[in-house]
Amino acid sequence: MKFFIFFFFIPVFYTNAQIDSIFISDFNDALKVSADFYTSPLQYDSKDWITFSSVVGLTALSTLADKEVKNYSQNNQSKFVNNFFNIDKYYRLDYAIGSMVLLYGYGLITDDNNTRKLAVKLAEATALASSITLVSKITIGRARPFLDKDIYYTNAFTIKDDYNSFPSEHTTLAFAYSTVMANEVDNVFWKIGWYSLAGLVGYARIYHNQHWFSDVLMGAAIGYFSGEFVSNQNSTEKEETLIKLFPAPNGFALQIIF
């Protein structure tokens, strides 16, 4: 049996009576993928829990190498290497958003559904991964390495950037984006290229003394698994959708089916 719940939002003023169905369809897809993403732990099997536990365990063990990796990165710097690891200044959120907008616009203008859908998947993966990272940062409140505090020092439930080290947001974004891109082409060199870029971003954050090694490791895991989740979704072929958004006389209506 289906139950329908409608929520009407604040009225939205627009010039056209109808909103392009493409935007509505893409937004519905994002809502569906988001709902599946956040409820996915409820469907975890033993293999999934082993993977989850392994990631957490390896990250915990990697903290033992945090100081050594920091010392190595800070003691082996040069002008050439400085320029090389400036990649984290470019492979970051604002540039990623810009590329998504360009891809989406190109897909709309040229009626290229594959390119438009790629932009949607990139947006979904980066947004979902970043949401997990943001909550973790604020909840844990780990001190950044440049503060020279103990590697386990935390200031929980804070929004101060100096205590938002774990996990690395740059690395999360890079791996979420790269994973989606890597899955688009079945070519080993293409995949190596994208994952190499993400890995360079991760080490650049250590090199710039902004993150511990374990911060980067967890960020990479969150980004990778988020990208894989989104890439593996095939919501367009499912008969039922958990959440749908559509125009209403005074704005938008949200339909939840359960």
Strand order in the sheet with 251-257: 4-8, 251-257, 243-248
Q: Which domain holds residue 51?
A: 4-257
Q: Give residue-wise pLDDT tens across range 210-252.
A: 999 999 999 999 999 999 999 998 544 444 434 455 555 555 5
State the Cα–Cα distance between residues 205 and 88, nearest whole angstrom. 7
State the Cα–Cα distance between residues 3 and 5, nearest whole angstrom. 7
Q: Give residue-wise pLDDT tens across range 25-71.
A: 888 889 999 999 999 999 999 999 999 999 999 999 999 999 999 99
Would the pTM count as exceeding 0.85? no
Under a CB-based contact definition with an 8 Å cutoff, are residues 88 and 201 in contact?
A: yes
What mean pLDDT comes out for the span 1-5?
A: 40
* Beta strands, E only, the chain: 4-8, 243-248, 251-257
What domain count does the chain have? Answer: 1
